[in-house]
Chains A and B, each alone.
Chain A
C-alpha cells in the first residue's frame, strides 16, 4: 500500500494536466478491471462487472493543486498563479517541479524590513520562481508561459504515518485501486478518477450523469484536529479510522450511506470516525445533484497540513478504508439503502 501511495503521490499531475497520473492509475489497475473509458474532459472511468444489476460508483480526484507559469522577466525569473488552493505561504522556502526543471521560490524585497513586510502580506505578486536561468530566452525554452508545475516534495515513510505532496487525493485513488484489486463486487463497480476537482469539482460534475449509479461515494482527504491549537470544534484524529462524512460546506451526505457504512464498520470491527467539516467540500456535492439526484456521500482520510507540500496521513486509516469498501461492495444490500 505504501509503495502504491508513493507511486501515485510522486507522479506530477496538477488540475487540467492529469495525463501522467491517468496512465499510472491505468497501469496499476491492469488485470483488475473489465473495462475503462476516458471521457471528453479527461476523467478516467473504470469498471468491474458484478453478478447483479446495479451500479456503485467510487470517485477520487486524480488532480493535485499546482501553479501556472504566467510571465518571465528579462532576467529569467518566473511569475506564477495558483491552480487550486495553493497558499503563497506554503511556497516560502519551497520549490516547484515543472516538467523540464525544478524552480525555487523567492520573495521580492531589498531590506529585511521590506522582506518582513512582504512576507506578512504575502501574495502571488510578491513571489517569483528561480530556475537558475541567465536570460529570458533560456527560461522561456524550459518553462514557457502556460506551463504547469507542482510542489516538489518526496515521499517519506515514518512508520504508521506517511508524508507527501498530493495525498489529496492520490490516497483516494490508491484506496479505489486497492478495492478493485481485492474485491469481488456484487453489483457493477465503477471507479472514477476525476479531473480538476481542485479548481471547482469540474470532472465529477459530468461523471455521474454518464454512469447513472445507484450509489456514489467520493473518497477524499479531510482535516484533522489533533495538532497543537488545531481545530477545536471537530474531532478527527490520524489513525483512528477513516471518517464517514456527515457534512461539509458543499454537501450533506445521504443518511442511508452514513448508516450503512457505520453499521458495516461496527459489525466488522473496523475503526471509523464521524466527520463534520466546517469548511471545504468534495466531489460528493456534484455527484449528488446529478440528473434527478443520486444517493451520495464521502469517506475521508484525516490528513494533516492539507494543501501543503507535506500532507501527512496514517496508513492504518487507508487500510481500514479499503477493508470497509471491500465489505460494502460485497454486500447484497449496498444499493438497496
Chain B
C-alpha cells in the first residue's frame, strides 16, 4: 500500500505531475499499455478475457490553493482550488511551488479576538513564508505557484491520516490492483484523472478515449461520523467497510452495477455500507453524460476530507481493495 507516500506528494488540481510521475514509475512495467493524454490523465491498460471495456477511475488531484498575489509586506494571497472551508486552514503548514517553499497560513491570535470571530472568505487569509518584503517573497515564490497543505501523513495501527487521502486512497487501490497481478474479466483501463476537485474536468476526456461499457469510480468519501451528527444523518462511518453509492449529485448510479457490487460483497463476507447522503458529485456523473456509460462509485470512508488532515481506517481500505479485486475478475450481472 502506497497511500502514505501518495498522500505526502503534492498534486493540487492542475498540478498533478508529481503524482502522475510517481504512479507511472510504479506501474509501467506491470500493465499491457500505458499512456498519458493531452490533459494529463494517466491511462493504464490490462487485457481481460472479454472484449468489453471496464474503466476504473481515481483522481490524482487534491484540494489546495494557487498563489494569486504577492503583497508589499511579503505575504502571499491565495485562491482555493476545489472546495475548502476557510475555517479549517488557519495556522496550518503549506508548501509552495515545485521548490516546496514552506509557509504558514496566518491566523489571528485568540488574544486579539472578542469571542470566536468567524472568517468568511479567503480574502482575509494570507500565507506567511517568513519574509517581510515583496522583493524577498518574489525570490522564493511566484504568482501561479501551487500551494499545497504540507505533507503530514501518519500511520498508526489501523489508522491513517494525511492531507490528500481524497483521492490518493483511490489511486493507491488502483496501484494495488495492478500490483496484485489479477487477471481482469474485462479489458480494464486503470485511469488516474486530473482536476476532479475543480469540476470533474479530466474524467470525461478519458472516457471519450476509452468509450467504456462500465465504469467504477474509486473515491475517498465523506464519512461524517463525527459525534455531533446523529447516526441517521451520517454519510458513512469508519470501520464499516467500503461505501457503495446509490445516487449522488448529477447521477443516480447504475442499478445493475450497484446490485452487483452488493452481491459480491455479501457473497464474500466483505463488510460494506450504503452511502446515506446524496450531496456532492464524482467523476461517475461526468463519465455517464459523456459516453453514456453505466457507472458506480465505491469509496473508502474518510473523516475531515478537504481539510489539511483526513483520517481513514485501514480495514476499510483493505476491504475496499478486496471488494474491487473480486469485482474485476467477474462478469457484471
Contacts and interface: CB of A to CB of B under 8 A. Distances in A.
A199 B293 contact: no
Contact of A79 (B246, B255, B276): B276
Contacts of A257: none
Interface in B271-299: 274-278, 285, 288-294
Contacts of A202: 250-252, 285, 288-289
B260 interface: no
Contact of A206 (B246, B277, B292): B292
Interface in A268-323: 286
Nearest to B258: A146
B249 interface: yes
A125 B258 contact: no
Contact of A200 (B251, B254, B292): B251
B174 to A, nearest CB: 23
A32 interface: no
Contacts of B274: 70, 145-146
B221 to A, nearest CB: 14
B288 A41 contact: yes
Interface residues of A, number: 30
Given A70-B276, A81-B276, A200 B246 contact: no
A148 B251 CA distance: 14
A209 B292 CA distance: 10
B118 to A, nearest CB: 21
Contacts of B232: 71, 73, 79
Contacts of A17: 252, 255
A146 B296 CA distance: 13
A296 B230 CA distance: 47
B291 A206 contact: yes
Interface in A213-232: none
Contacts of B285: 200, 202
B277 A81 contact: yes
Q: Which of the four size classes fits the interface of chain B?
A: 20 to 34
B299 to A, nearest CB: 15
Given A17-B255, A146-B258, A206-B289, A200 B249 contact: yes
B247 A81 contact: yes
A9 interface: no
A199 B291 contact: no
A43 B250 CA distance: 16
Contacts of A43: 292
Contacts of B288: 41, 202, 205
B279 to A, nearest CB: 8
A83 interface: yes
B292 A83 contact: no
A79 B232 CA distance: 7
Nearest to B253: A16
Nearest to B256: A42
A79 B252 contact: no
Nearest to A198: B252
B176 interface: no
B276 A199 contact: no
Given A17-B255, A40-B213, A205-B289, A68 B247 contact: yes
B227 to A, nearest CB: 16
A200 B250 contact: yes
B233 interface: yes
A125 B292 CA distance: 33
B200 to A, nearest CB: 12
A253 interface: no
Contact of A71 (B254, B276, B289): B276
A334 interface: no
A43 B289 CA distance: 12
A79 B249 contact: no
Contacts of A106: none
Q: Which residue among B247, B250, B294 has the maximum number of chain A CB atoms within 10 Å of its CB?
A: B247
Contacts of B213: 40
B292 A41 contact: yes
Nearest to B274: A145
**Residue of A15, A83, A199 ringed by the most chain B CB atoms within 10 A:** A199
A125 B276 contact: no
B246 A146 contact: yes
Contacts of A81: 247, 276-278
Kindly name the residue among A73, A125, A146 whose own CB sees the greatest number of chain B CB atoms within 10 A: A146
Nearest to B244: A146
B289 A40 contact: no
A17 B258 CA distance: 12
Interface string A133-153: 000000000000110100000
Contacts of A16: 247, 251-255
B50 to A, nearest CB: 16
A17 B254 CA distance: 9
Interface in B228-271: 230-233, 244, 246-247, 249-255, 258, 262
Contacts of A40: 213, 292-294
Residue among B274, B275, B290 with most chain A CB within 10 A: B274
B278 A83 contact: yes
Closest 7 CB pairs of A and B: A16-B252, A206-B292, A205-B289, A70-B276, A200-B250, A145-B274, A81-B278
12 contacts: A40-B213, A40-B293, A68-B278, A81-B277, A83-B247, A125-B233, A145-B246, A146-B258, A146-B262, A146-B274, A202-B251, A286-B289
Given A71-B231, A199-B252, 8 more contacts: A16-B255, A40-B294, A68-B247, A81-B276, A125-B230, A146-B258, A200-B251, A200-B285
